[in-house]
Amino acid sequence: MFTGSVPVEIGNLTELRSISLRSNSLSDPIPYQLGKLKQELILSGNNFTGSTPHDIGLISGLKTLDLAENIILGGHIPASLGQLQALESLHLFSCGMNFSIPSQLGQFTNLKYLDLGENNITGSLPPSLAALSRNSAFSIALNRITGAILGWIFTNWTNLIILNLLDNSFIGPIPPKIGLFKNLRTLQISLNKFSGHILLEIENLTNLELLDLSRSIPTSTGEMVNLSVLDLAGNKLMGPIPTALGHLTDLQLLNLSNNKLSGPIPHGGQMTTFDASSYHRNPRLCVPPLPEKKCTHDESISNSSNSRDMRFHGWHLLCVYAVKLQFNVYCESSG
């Protein structure tokens, strides 16, 4: 593991195309001499401080810039970064940012991956981001973004595979256009201030592998045949478990524990592969795999009458770090 500063002499390597110094204990400001790189700069997981050197914005061919997990931005993104027209991957996760998203990010028209998660970013999503039509993965999780989800996200970002808006202050209804994301694999929008209910258009997201909605879940979730993780533990979910979940043949992990779910547990299809731990601390659930809790007649009727219209309130996904890892792995393997 490297410690100390990055030697300024590295600027003498005039033919150096890429450098990766991730996960060390390097500190002090980033030397401006790194601005002579050609293609890739990865400095994530260090102890850099100060601001991002202006010269990095002069690397005209830079495709990957990863400064994640460093308190290095000094409260702002240098305007010079807007000149990185070739940039495809920008990782600024956990960089101590405490400002609104600069409109200059909309100049990265070749950008495919943008991670701004776990900072202290305020304001709304700038309209200039609509120009990022090649964007495949976007995370703004764990910030203080406000405003509604704007329509251009759905009409312009048609290549989106990962959308993570977790734990912000977005408001308003979730637009029906969410069903346009035919290629979406990960959708996280919990812990916001959305109103209304999840629309049936979500059934069009048949490639979803990880789903986190935070308000309600339609029975059409059973048509998301690629879903492999459904973890809704520790919330205030009420009502029955939809039998359609048994159709999720790729489901590897199901955790509905610590909620207020009621009625019989569906026992067909994939649901037979999960034991009692998946349903722990839901006192109104009954029948196998909870053999000690038999369903009463009233509970069976309640389950039948509510199966068409479940209302799940205040739920969140306990997979924040897993999604962060999935985002990073996807970006690295596809870059």
For residue range 149-200, list pLDDT tens digits in order: 888 998 999 999 999 998 899 988 878 888 889 899 998 887 787 766 556 6
Residues 298 and 167 in one domain: no
Closest to 224 measured CA to CA, from 251, 205, 198, 246 = 205
Residues 257 and 186 in one domain: no
Residues 136 and 85 in one domain: yes
Cis check for the bond before 173: say yes or no (omega within 30 of 0): no
3-state secondary structure of 26: strand
Residues 130 and 232 in one domain: yes
Residues 246 and 144 in one domain: no
Residues 259 and 201 in one domain: no
Domain boundaries, position 254 = 237-315
Closest to 102 measured CA to CA, from 116, 113, 91, 85 = 116
Tell me how many domains the chain contains: 2
Does position 134 have pLDDT exceeding 80, yes or no?
Answer: yes
Residues 160 and 43 in one domain: yes
The strand pair at 236-239 and 312-313 is best described as antiparallel
- List the CATH number of the domain containing 258: 3.80.10.10
Q: What DSSP character marks residue 267?
A: -
Residues 246 and 140 in one domain: no
Taking the C-alpha atoms of residue 150 and residue 95, their distance in angstroms, rounded to an integer, is 26
Taking the C-alpha atoms of residue 142 and residue 5, their distance in angstroms, rounded to an integer, is 30
Residues 217 and 75 in one domain: yes
Does position 219 have pLDDT exceeding 70, yes or no?
Answer: no
Mean pLDDT taken over the chain: 77
Taking the C-alpha atoms of residue 149 and residue 140, their distance in angstroms, rounded to an integer, is 12
Sign of CA dihedral 267, 272, 275, 280: negative
Asked whether the whole model's pTM tops 0.85, one would answer no
Phi-psi region of 28 (alpha: psi -120 to 50; beta: other; left: phi over 0): left
The pLDDT tens digits for 264-275 are 888 777 888 898
The pLDDT tens digits for 80-132 are 787 888 999 999 999 888 888 888 889 899 999 999 999 989 999 999 999 99
